[in-house]
Amino acid sequence: MDRRAFITSLAVGALLASRWADAQKTKGMHRIGWLSPASAKEGLPNLAALRAGLRELGYVEGQNLVIEPRWADGHIERLPRLAAELVRFRVEVLCTAGSQASGAAKQATSTIPIVFANVAFPDQSGLVRSYASPGGNITGVAFMGPEYGKRLELLKEAQPKLSRVALIYNPDNSGSVLALKETLRWTTALRISLEPHGFRGPQDFERVFGAIAGKRPDALMTTADPLIASYRTRIVDFAAQHRLPSMYPSREFVDAGGLMFYGGSIPEMYRRAAAYVDRILKGAKPADLAIEQPTKFDMVINLKTARALGITIPQSILVRADRVIE
């Protein structure tokens, strides 16, 4: 295709999207965009939670709601293009999954309301002005920080002699970097040495796994990051191979064989994000909607993994678990 034909095709595509959007508006349809750094397979549970929240509020797809999903399939560099695509599609609200998708959406539009979920420290990363008064066109549900210290506390409670913990984080994700800093803040009181290992993609597995295996820490953790989460099976298998007790930021790691999860309920965050969408569609401005923090925290323990590692999980932890995998 020559340059003139390519430009013409782009213009026609934008025009068709605009006309389709106008047609839907006349039918009373609300148009919602969804932007995720994950693949559809990995991220569908989060979108399902948002859909469930919207249904509870009276929004039914095909009747008064259309959701336009865009998935980056783990390629973060695609997010700006996908965000711009949703902006051209003239969605009424743009819902985003995680810090990187939210940042891409904010760069793409200063007028379309953005509702995020599963974001860490949005005030520190520059997404919003503050939790109480986000300002601009963006708001949502975000983590604040206590769960990072609690994860270390639980690891220490399960393994009283624990002193060195390896932590895998994504240097290219501001939320992941801030999570690392917050975790470091808790180490002194708990007398734990934290050993960070940056991970930017599968090309880093050999280096990261080699460094961790060589240093032989007492346990393993990861930050909440879509890229890291997409390789959770490989990370969990590594921990099992090297007999490392592990603490993770989502229950999917434990379902894959990891030892423990503690944190805010991620599905609940997306379900709560629906309430923001509802209020915005009814006329509220994102700048006036304070950011909500998780009120429900879950703990999941995989006893099968504990037995394989030769670890006895104290009863004081088991009685607090929301779910125990036998």
The string of pLDDT tens digits covering residues 90-115 is 999 999 999 999 999 999 999 999 99
pLDDT (tens digit per residue) in 125-177? 899 999 999 999 999 999 877 788 899 999 999 999 999 999 999 998 888 99
**DSSP result, 92-133:** SEEEEEHHHHHHHHHHH-SSS-EEEEEEE-HHHHTS-S-SS-
* Burial class of residue 91 (count of CB atoms within 10 Å of its CB; 0-12, 13-18, 19+): buried
* Burial class of residue 9 (count of CB atoms within 10 Å of its CB; 0-12, 13-18, 19+): exposed
Given this model, what pLDDT does residue 202 score? 87
Given this model, what pLDDT does residue 4 score? 52
Residue ranges making up the domain that contains 198: 146-263+298-325
* Residues 188 and 68 both lie in one domain: no
* Residues 246 and 158 both lie in one domain: yes
Given this model, what pLDDT does residue 8 score? 47
Residues 291, 114: contact at Cβ < 8 Å? Answer: no
Helix (H, G, I), strand (E, B) or coil at 254: helix
* Residues 14 and 127 both lie in one domain: yes
Among 23-27, 96-100, 197-201, 241-245, the range scoring the smallest mean pLDDT is 23-27
Cβ neighbors of 190 (< 8 A, separation 6 or more) are 149, 152, 153, 156
Residues 198, 204: contact at Cβ < 8 Å? Answer: yes
pLDDT band (50, 70, 90) for residue 43: confident
pLDDT band (50, 70, 90) for residue 276: very high
Q: Per the structure, how many domains does the chain have?
A: 2
* Residues 165 and 309 both lie in one domain: yes
Q: Higher confidence at residue 235 or residue 295?
A: 235
Residues 105, 114: contact at Cβ < 8 Å? Answer: yes
* Residues 82 and 122 both lie in one domain: yes
Helix (H, G, I), strand (E, B) or coil at 136: coil
* Residues 123 and 76 both lie in one domain: yes
Where do the DSSP E strands lie in the chain?
30-36, 65-71, 93-97, 114-120, 138-143, 164-169, 193-198, 219-222, 246-248, 260-264, 297-302, 323-325
**What is the rounded average pLDDT of the residues 185-196?**
94
Strand order in the sheet with 65-71: 65-71, 30-36, 93-97, 114-120, 138-143
Helix (H, G, I), strand (E, B) or coil at 257: coil
* Burial class of residue 225 (count of CB atoms within 10 Å of its CB; 0-12, 13-18, 19+): buried
Please check the confidence at residue 16 and state whether its pLDDT lies above 90.
no
pLDDT (tens digit per residue) in 44-86? 989 999 999 999 999 999 999 999 999 998 888 999 999 999 9
* Residues 292 and 302 both lie in one domain: no
CATH number for the domain that contains residue 192? 3.40.50.2300
* Residues 137 and 285 both lie in one domain: yes
pLDDT band (50, 70, 90) for residue 10: very low
CA distance 47 to 69: 9
**What is the rounded average pLDDT of the residues 178-207?**
93
Residues 226, 252: contact at Cβ < 8 Å? Answer: no
Residues 109, 102: contact at Cβ < 8 Å? Answer: no
Residues 39, 71: contact at Cβ < 8 Å? Answer: yes
* Residues 231 and 181 both lie in one domain: yes
Given this model, what pLDDT does residue 27 score? 59
Q: Which two tokens stand for residue 93?
A: 């609200």
CA 177 to chain centre: 14
Given this model, what pLDDT does residue 295 score? 78
**What is the rounded average pLDDT of the residues 20-37?**
74
What's at 268, amino acid-wise? E
Please check the confidence at residue 31 and state whether its pLDDT lies above 70.
yes
Given this model, what pLDDT does residue 230 score? 81
* Residues 208 and 168 both lie in one domain: yes
* Residues 288 and 178 both lie in one domain: no
**What is the rounded average pLDDT of the residues 193-208?**
94
Please check the confidence at residue 258 and state whether its pLDDT lies above 70.
yes
Please check the confidence at residue 24 and state whether its pLDDT lies above 90.
no
**What is the rounded average pLDDT of the residues 287-309?**
93
CA distance 99 to 97: 7
Cα torsion for 74, 80, 85, 88, to the nearest 10°? 160
Strand order in the sheet with 246-248: 193-198, 164-169, 219-222, 246-248, 260-264, 297-302, 323-325
Residues 109, 91: contact at Cβ < 8 Å? Answer: no
Question: What rounded mean pLDDT belongs to the chain?
Answer: 90
* Residues 94 and 134 both lie in one domain: yes
